[in-house]
């Protein structure tokens, strides 16, 4: 199946001008020529091959496509790629380097915070935004922060435990 990104590459958009965007993705500047209707989620996945950002419902409900946009979590299926021009985007690939895990990723591993794993990237980025602003959240605060992200496997118990585990780990790192 070809996505819109490939279609645009092969067939320019007639009278609609293609726009050049430069986005800082996971710390590195990336440039692409995009048709205005291309969604950020599709640019990340098909243009930049960062397939850790998942598209689930495509209707702004599930949060699987959550990325950090200038540090705040947003649903990348509900933002145009052109809107990200000049901004910073962090995807799950940007959480940690290739040979290490971010404490949030460790938490999801240790506390069995995923089963099928489809929602996990979005969950982890929503959790990252929470822990950046609130390093010691209560269980309720974790549930509140993740309430825009759906999981159909776990029943959320272990996801919440994973985030609380990560909070402890991050705190111990910052004090040591």
Partner 1 sequence: MYPSRFRYESPRSINEAIALLQEGGGEAKVLAGGQSLVPLLKLRFAAPELLVDINGLPGLDHHTVDPDGTIRIGALCRHADLERWAVLPARQPTMAAAAPLVADPIVRNRGTLVGSLCHADPQGDWASVVTALGGHVVAQGANGRRSIPVTQFVTGPFQNTLGYDEIAVEAVIPAPKGQAAGGYLKLERRVGDFATAGVAVAVELSGAVVTRAGIALTGVGGSTIDAGDAAQSLAGGQLTGDSIDNAADLAARAAQPRTDHRGSAEYKRQIVRTFVVRILTGVKESTERAA
Question: Residues 17, 117, 135, 155: which binds partner 1 (CB under 8 A)?
Answer: 17
Give percent helix, percent strand, percent coil of the chain, each to the nearest 5: 40, 15, 45
Print the binding letters for residues 40-79 with partner 1: x by CB under 8 A, - otherwise: ------------------xxxx-x--x--x--xxxx--xx
Q: How far apart are CA 19 and CA 33, in angstroms?
A: 5
Q: How far is the CB of 133 from partner 1 (least distance, A)?
A: 9
Print the binding letters for residues 102-141 with partner 1: x by CB under 8 A, - otherwise: ------------------------x---------------
Region near partner 1 per CB under 8 A, out of 43-51, 81-89, 96-104, 159-167: 81-89
Q: Which CB, 14 or 27, lies closer to partner 1?
A: 14
CA atoms 82, 129, 64, 103: torsion sign: positive
Q: How far apart are CA 174 and CA 94, in angstroms?
A: 20
Q: How far is the CB of 104 from partner 1 (least distance, A)?
A: 16
Which residues touch 161 (CB under 8 Å, ≥6 apart)? Answer: 107, 111, 113
Is 153 a binding residue for partner 1 by CB under 8 A? The answer is no
Q: How far is the CB of 162 from partner 1 (least distance, A)?
A: 18
Q: Per DSSP, what are the bridge partners of residue 33?
A: 20
| 3 state SS of 89 | strand
Q: What is the 3-state secondary structure (H, E, C) of 3-45?
A: CHHHHHHHCCCCCCCCEEEEEEECCEEEEEEECCCCEHHHHHH
Contacts with partner 1 by CB under 8 A lie at 4, 13-14, 16-17, 19, 35-39, 58-61, 63, 66, 69, 72-75, 78-80, 82-83, 85, 126, 144-149
């Amino acid at each position: 199946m070809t996505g819109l990104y490939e279609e645009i590459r092969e067939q320019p958009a007639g009278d609609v001008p293609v726009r050049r965007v430069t986005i800082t993705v996971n710390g590195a500047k990336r440039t692409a020529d995009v048709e205005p209707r291309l969604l950020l989620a599709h640019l990340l996945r098909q243009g930049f091959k960062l397939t850790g950002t998942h598209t689930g419902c495509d209707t702004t409900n599930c949060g699987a496509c959550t990325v950090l946009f200038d540090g705040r979590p947003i649903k990348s299926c509900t933002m145009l790629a052109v809107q990200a021009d000049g901004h910073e985007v962090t995807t799950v690939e940007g959480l940690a380097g290739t040979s290490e895990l971010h404490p949030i990723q460790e938490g999801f591993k240790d506390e069995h915070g995923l089963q099928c794993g489809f929602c996990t990237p979005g969950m982890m980025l929503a959790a990252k935004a929470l822990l950046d602003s609130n390093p010691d959240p209560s269980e309720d605060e974790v549930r509140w922060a993740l309430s825009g992200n759906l999981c159909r496997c776990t029943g959320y118990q272990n996801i919440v435990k994973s985030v609380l585990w990560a909070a402890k780990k991050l705190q111990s790192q910052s004090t040591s």
